[in-house]
Amino acid sequence: MDSFAHNIGGRIDNWLELTARSLRKSFQHFWPSDAAGRNDPCEQNVAIHLAHVLLREEFSVFAEVRHHGLDNGRIDLLAIEPDRNWFLAFEFKKVWSGTVSAVIEDLAKLNQYRLPELCPAMFGKMQSEFSVTCQRGVGLAAGLLWVPPDPVQSSLFEFWGSEGAAGNIKLGSELTGAADALNSYWATPQRAWKNADSSRYYLVAIAFDIPASR
């Protein structure tokens, strides 16, 4: 089956590589957390750097966008491509074995996201028509993953770098079933982008098609 997320996989790959470069440059000047066991930079750092990349590509970008399919729910970031033919919906997480279940929950939330139908009288004809006609969306969950000096020691990193073979990787008892759940969303080859040479943090991501709602 044809996948839009797969078709634009090269563009997604480029945006995330640029995001990793931007993070790397900033982290060379300052580390935004302490060194007393709480050294992970928060996931919003990924959001702001990725938003910057997309804004330079002339996307319309919005933070903390209401998720109308969930009571009081929001998605971290929404980006609408310049020709307004499709959109990207994002969630961001710190990635480690303890947050894999939360990443899966975020994927399910993104999978349910739809642009809301807007009232023409309140928002105008152009806005209301766009909310109905733009049905093609891509969900993307991303975050920073700390990797040991030897990446082979990290089964979670190996999972992200496996390019389709993730089902054959043993993630450990705490992640039983996670591989199948994550693989069910994977439309593009798994990738891990080196983020900061000295810190061993990698930017990892999953991209998949969001089903059309109408």
pLDDT tens by residue, 121-173: 676 666 667 777 777 889 888 888 877 766 556 667 766 665 544 444 444 44
| 123 within a domain of the structure (yes/no) | yes
| 152 within a domain of the structure (yes/no) | yes
CA gap 159, 101 in Å, rounded: 15
Q: How many domains does the chain have?
A: 1
Greater pLDDT, 141 or 199: 141
Rounded (10°) CA dihedral 148, 182, 24, 41: -80
With CA atoms as reference, report the closest residue to 138 among 81, 203, 97: 81
| 160 within a domain of the structure (yes/no) | yes
CA gap 49, 135 in Å, rounded: 26
81-135: pLDDT as tens digits: 988 889 999 999 877 666 777 778 888 888 888 877 766 667 666 666 777 777 7
Segment of 26-35, 87-96, 160-169, 185-194 carrying the highest mean pLDDT: 87-96
With CA atoms as reference, report the closest residue to 58 among 75, 78, 83: 83
Check whether 49 has a pLDDT greater than 80.
yes
- At residue 210, the pLDDT reads 86
Whether this prediction's pTM lies above 0.85 is answered by no
| 35 within a domain of the structure (yes/no) | no
- At residue 187, the pLDDT reads 55
Mean pLDDT, the chain, rounded, equals 75
**Which range of residues forms the domain containing residue 44?**
4-28+40-210
Instruction: Please state the rounded mean pLDDT for residues 47-74.
Output: 87
What are the angstrom distances between the C-alpha of 209 and each of 5, 27, 41? 6, 32, 28
| 164 within a domain of the structure (yes/no) | yes
- At residue 144, the pLDDT reads 83
Greater pLDDT, 178 or 88: 88
CA gap 12, 9 in Å, rounded: 5
